[in-house]
């Protein structure tokens, strides 16, 4: 934890889902300051806004979490925005950080950067062996360019930047907005809403055959913090939980935990997304000692309980 002593840290996206958990984790290291720029004040797609962040925060360390993200539907509807927004934020931020003499830059990539048919488990050396799954390729490739930039700036300038590849995250504080949410919050909301309405069925996209790996958000925050403290290479590193579950089994589990009593109907006219996702996480354990701790069902219980409490509080407020 002594790494953080006297450090001034910028966490882009620090008020978001992962960002709030990461900021809480960083506070335990007692840095000199943590600065989380908000979009309404600093639009990181604009170079002048990035320069103002650097002048205002004077950071030693930047952890770049901010991004325009969403599920399959959002990626299909807004591929250009997902590409442009994420590319412009990341590339300009890393460039300006180098120009200002920032000591360390941590770029957060995405599992969507992997090729569509990557052998399972996904190993970092397979990252360039094909094109990403089409529905989220613009987003995945925009984030992947930060890896290219990190390696180029380290080679030419000796700039200390690292690139992490987390799997899909879940946990308390996630977005349950149907237009933006990923699979777990989307399914939790579907099941809870259907249960409360007394529906006899709910509809889920695809056929349930794809597999996914999910990482509890507090574990993700711990992994990012450990990598920032201990890892000093531009070679990419997976950050995950080292397991996979089929979407069909995931739906069955969420149905049971939420108490929905109806039938699940699979809409096979909608896309499945990438066939399988499971990371090889051995490099993260070897390089900076990260191993996920929260068991999946326990993490789901915590997430569902949080969502139910938020819904109840909203009703009381209204």
Q: Which of 68, 62, 66 is nearest to 96 (CA)?
A: 62
Residues known to be catalytic: 139
Q: Are 80 and 142 in contact (CB under 8 A)?
A: no
Assigned CATH for 2-317: 3.40.50.720
pLDDT digits (tens, 9 = 90+) for 15-73: 999 999 999 999 999 999 999 999 999 999 999 999 999 999 999 999 999 999 887 78
Q: Are 152 and 168 in contact (CB under 8 A)?
A: no
Other C-beta atoms within 10 Å of 16: how many?
21
pLDDT at 318 over 80: no
CA distance linking residue 106 with residue 51, whole number of Å: 18
Give the H/E segment covering residue 116.
none
**Domain ranges for the chain:** 2-317
CA distance linking residue 20 with residue 59, whole number of Å: 18
Tell me which long-range contacts 233-236 makes (C-beta under 8 A, separation of at least 24): 233/162, 233/287, 234/147, 234/150, 234/151, 234/154, 234/161, 234/162, 234/163, 235/124, 236/109, 236/124, 236/127, 236/147, 236/163, 236/164, 236/165
pLDDT digits (tens, 9 = 90+) for 183-236: 999 999 999 999 999 999 999 999 999 999 999 999 999 999 999 999 999 999
CA distance linking residue 19 with residue 38, whole number of Å: 12
What is the arithmetic mean of pLDDT over 136-151? 97
Q: What is the pLDDT of the chain when averaged over all its residues?
A: 95
What is the arithmetic mean of pLDDT over 284-300? 98
Q: pTM here?
A: 0.92
pLDDT digits (tens, 9 = 90+) for 241-267: 999 999 999 999 999 999 999 999 999
């Amino acid at each position: 934890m002594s790494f953080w002593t006297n450090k001034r840290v910028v966490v882009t996206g620090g008020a978001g889902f992962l960002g709030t958990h990461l900021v809480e984790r960083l506070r335990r290291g007692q840095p000199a300051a943590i600065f989380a720029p908000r979009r309404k004040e600093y639009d990181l797609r604009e170079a002048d806004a990035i320069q103002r962040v650097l002048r205002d925060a004077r950071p030693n360390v930047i952890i770049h979490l901010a991004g325009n993200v969403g599920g399959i539907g959002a990626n299909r509807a807004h591929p250009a925005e997902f590409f442009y927004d994420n590319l412009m934020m990341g590339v300009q931020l890393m460039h300006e950080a180098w120009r200002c003499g920032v000591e360390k830059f941590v770029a957060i990539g995405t599992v969507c950067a992997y090729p569509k048919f990557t052998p399972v488990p996904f190993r970092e050396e397979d990252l360039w062996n094909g094109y990403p799954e089409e529905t989220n390729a613009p987003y995945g490739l925009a984030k992947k360019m930060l890896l290219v930039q990190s390696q180029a700036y380290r080679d030419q300038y000796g700039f200390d930047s690292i690139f992490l590849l987390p799997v899909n995250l879940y946990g308390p504080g996630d977005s349950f907005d149907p237009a933006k949410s990923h699979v777990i919050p989307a399914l939790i909301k579907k099941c809870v809403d259907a249960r409360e309405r007394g529906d006899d069925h709910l509809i889920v996209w695809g056929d349930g055959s794809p597999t996914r790996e999910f990482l509890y958000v507090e574990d993700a925050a711990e992994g990012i913090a450990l990598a920032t403290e201990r890892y000093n290479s531009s070679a990419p590193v997976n950050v995950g939980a080292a397991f996979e579950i089929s979407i069909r089994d995931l739906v069955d589990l969420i149905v049971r935990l939420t108490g929905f009593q109806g039938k699940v109907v699979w809409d096979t006219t909608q896309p499945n997304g990438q066939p399988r996702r499971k990371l090889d996480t051995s490099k993260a354990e070897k390089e900076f000692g990260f191993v996920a701790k929260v068991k999946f069902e326990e993490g789901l219980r915590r997430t569902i309980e949080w969502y139910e409490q938020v819904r109840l509080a909203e009703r009381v407020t209204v």
